[in-house]
Structure 1
Amino acid sequence: MEQVKKIHNRVAARLLDHVRNRTTDQAEGLMRVSSASYTDPELWQREMEVIFKRLPILAALSAEISQPGHYKTLDLLDTPILLTRLRDGSVRAMLNVCGHRGMKLAEGKGKCDKFACPYHAWLYGNDGNLLRIAGEDSYGEVEKASFKLKQLPVYERGGMIFVVLTAGLEVDFEGFLGGMIEDIEALGFADWHYCGNREIHGANWKVAYDGYLEGYHFAAAHPETIHARTFSNLAAYDNYGPHQLIGFAQKAMEEKLGQVPPDELHLHENNGYDFIRTLFPNVSIFVAPEITQIAQLIPGPGVGENRTVLHFIQRQAPQSEEERQANEQMMDWLRGVVDSEDYQLGLKVQEGLESGAFEYITFGRNEPGNQLFHRTLDHYLSEDAAQRLVAELGSKDAAKAGAHSEGDRLVVAKG
């Protein structure tokens, strides 16, 4: 926790300095990325196999299945998943597929400790064990254990539940999330209230994710919303390997925090500055005073598409119907902003990229978060790294072979 405070103080202090000097964090130079990176279906498939199916991917927030017996179903990259909370409080992640004829076992979310297959009524416990075969005397003798639901590696920490979409592939979760999960854990999400979610659809997942990594577009794309309170093209960055902490200064930052001692700046998130926390490869977290938004980007079904689930949580449940309605309105408003002012622009970006007008796009020195993101992608997709992931990721030291263990820090300067 002390390390988290130091990082927050450092980023906030740099933001304050940028406000005074009208500067921003900068990378060492420009970076070009091939336009085909956003349009090539073969590359997209490689990203799915090497990154999304072999790293811990957010599947749910703990608050969604907070009590024993709670369950949630979802599809990630055409993988049907069933998440359950067991009596001992632990979480199971399983393929949501009946061992008999491949029927999806459950739908939606709710509370129950047994699941009856809707096709032939085979009965499973919420731990995945087959409990009963309907008409077993006529079906024939089988070993029930062989029909147990296929288990997926699952990790829960900081109020978030992650799965690995490759069965049997245990990873070094702590090594991968590193200090970022400690940062998130300090927020106390595990005890927060789940308000609901909204969905939006957009362009290639990297087109969408690029937008979460910079504030360079605030003035042009968000003139009456974000830019009304937050500077455009003024940000400070830190990173825990591939995961990023991005600070954006509010226009009142100097007035509010100009006299605050440097070692107390970490106490003032949302009161002078805001943080975006990103989890590689596809999560962005914005903690706001009114409500917290956690964006979960799900690639596909094709290279030029993504489905984003915006999860919303608060420190406590609404205490009245009026508060609940206010939450609904806030969730609708935030969805509208992200959809109309980000994702609709992203779809036009996708059209431009697919036109072939330019062979490359260019990230400026003032977009260091995007540069780190694309360097990390390049690392994972490199032949050597991909082979190492396949061969070693199951070992406890394997994640340390990734880009996030190489001490990759953003190079920043006043510009």
Structure 2
Amino acid sequence: MTLPILNLMPGDAPFRADPSDSYTLPARFYHDAEIWEHEKAAIFAQSWYYAGHVSQVAQSGEFLTVKIHEQNIFVARTRQGDLKAFYNVCPHRGHELVSGTGRKNVITCPYHAWAFDFDGTLKSARNTETVKGFDRSQFSLKEVRVEVFCGLVLVNLDPNATPFAEQMGDLEKEIRAYVPSVDDLQFAQRDTYEVEANWKVLIDNFLECYHCAPAHKDFVDLVDMNSYRTITCGLYSSQCAGKPRTTNARAYKFEAGDVDFGYAGWFVWPNFTIWAYPGEANLSVLQMNPTAPEKCVEFQDWFVKDGKVTDQLRDAINYQIEVLQPEDIGLCESVQKGLKSSGYNQGRFVVDAGKTELSEHAVHHFQHLVAQALGAKLDPEEV
């Protein structure tokens, strides 16, 4: 059922399907607790969620964990070589089974030592031999959908979800065009950032480079902005620059790699982004994980050849950690404060027909996906 707060309210300007004729989502969508709760079921419980990299679960018994709001999930490699995902909870009394990443011979609950194989079956349960009618088959772990896409491990709480690759159209083709050796990449490191902003503020910020010239001096020194274009495609969008402006940029210095390009980035619904920087083969995922209506934890996972970070890639990673992320986090935290101001409710999208770096049509694309998922009616013609 649609919450009244999701619909057009007094003082709201229309949010329309045409970005050139639309105002932005009203500010309440970025801080209201009711909307935050509605997002959990309407968006995150029905979407593919980035969990990690296949290189982290390459061997039998290796596992990784991921949290989707209150739902804890773990992904593990079975003895037969399959990849499985389960709710990370013991069916005996509800204790969490594993944490972080690692490798085990068997999954043993720390509470009462019930033990499970990596296919989810209960292998042993102490002192249940005399329990009347006890049937081990009734206490297998509950499975979750899992898929691998260009090395990325994705899970979905919806058992009837359309396969990820099918949802994403040409995304794999685009990634492989920029990073042909994507299958040779392995997990290298995770960087974590705590941000005082709604997760959608962070996505909005990623989706436009209108702010790049005033806010990211080193980035525009690295990338040829004249070739920077943003294209929206169903449940994802791309931002790519055809060439670097220089290989001797203030951001970092590099030698041209297998494919000579300036920058490639993709937004993937609902909350993660994929990056490829020029130079040696690399890929990274920056995921915006909401923890409260106005708080978010960002994970950036880096994937490089053989999992070994070279000096050149270290320079690129350090630029991200020390310069670009602090710049973006500062912008987003300031926006979050402004969204609570009595002097603001909505803005307008700045768009152009050329889909240049100055156009915000991809921000509208994302906000439209949010409105659709929540069942929001913000256009007077829909109310």
TM exceeds 0.5? Answer: yes
CA separation of 1:146 and 1:176: change in aligned 2, threshold 3 A: same
After TM superposition, the score normalised by the length of structure 1 is 0.74
Alignment-derived partner of residue 273 in structure 1:
262
Instruction: Show the 5 A alignment for 1:25-174.
Output: 28-29=20-21, 31-137=23-129, 141-166=133-158, 168-174=159-165
Alignment-derived partner of residue 308 in structure 1:
298
Alignment-derived partner of residue 346 in structure 2:
360
Q: 1:345 aligns with which of 331, 344, 357?
A: 331
Contact 2:227-2:243 within 8 A present in 1 as well:
no
SS at match of 1:93: strand
Contact 2:273-2:287 within 8 A present in 1 as well:
yes
CA separation of 1:44 and 1:113: change in aligned 2, threshold 3 A: same
CA separation of 1:57 and 1:185: change in aligned 2, threshold 3 A: farther
CA separation of 1:251 and 1:130: change in aligned 2, threshold 3 A: closer
Alignment-derived partner of residue 274 in structure 2:
285
Equivalent AA in structure 1 for residue 245 of structure 2: A
Say if 2:203 is the partner of 1:206.
no
For residues 238-262 of structure 1, give each alpha carbon's deviation from its aligned partner in whole angstroms, at most 9, with x where no partner exists.
2331211112355638xxxxxxxxx
Q: C-alpha displacement at 1:371, in angstroms?
A: 1.5
CA separation of 1:177 and 1:36: change in aligned 2, threshold 3 A: same
CA separation of 1:211 and 1:383: change in aligned 2, threshold 3 A: closer
Say if 2:366 is the partner of 1:373.
yes
SS at match of 2:292: coil
Q: Distance in 2 between matches of 1:129 and 1:332?
A: 43
Q: For this pair of structures, how many residues does the alignment match?
A: 339
SS at match of 2:43: helix
CA separation of 1:182 and 1:230: change in aligned 2, threshold 3 A: closer
CA separation of 1:246 and 1:101: change in aligned 2, threshold 3 A: same
CA separation of 1:145 and 1:137: change in aligned 2, threshold 3 A: closer
After TM superposition, the score normalised by the length of structure 2 is 0.80
Residue ranges of structure 1 left out of the alignment (5+ in a row) = 1-25, 254-266, 385-415
Q: 1:184 aligns with which of 163, 172, 175?
A: 175
Q: Distance in 2 between matches of 1:189 and 1:228?
A: 26
Where is the helix percentage greater, Structure 1 or Structure 2?
A: 1
Equivalent AA in structure 2 for residue 296 of structure 1: Q
Equivalent AA in structure 2 for residue 228 of structure 1: D
Q: Distance in 2 between matches of 1:233 and 1:44?
A: 38
SS at match of 2:95: coil
Contact 1:215-1:234 within 8 A present in 2 as well:
no
Contact 1:193-1:313 within 8 A present in 2 as well:
yes
Root mean square deviation, CA, Å: 2.7
Residue ranges of structure 2 left out of the alignment (5+ in a row) = 1-17, 247-255, 352-358, 378-383
Contact 2:116-2:123 within 8 A present in 1 as well:
yes
Q: C-alpha displacement at 1:352, in angstroms?
A: 0.9
Residue identity over aligned pairs, in percent, reads: 24
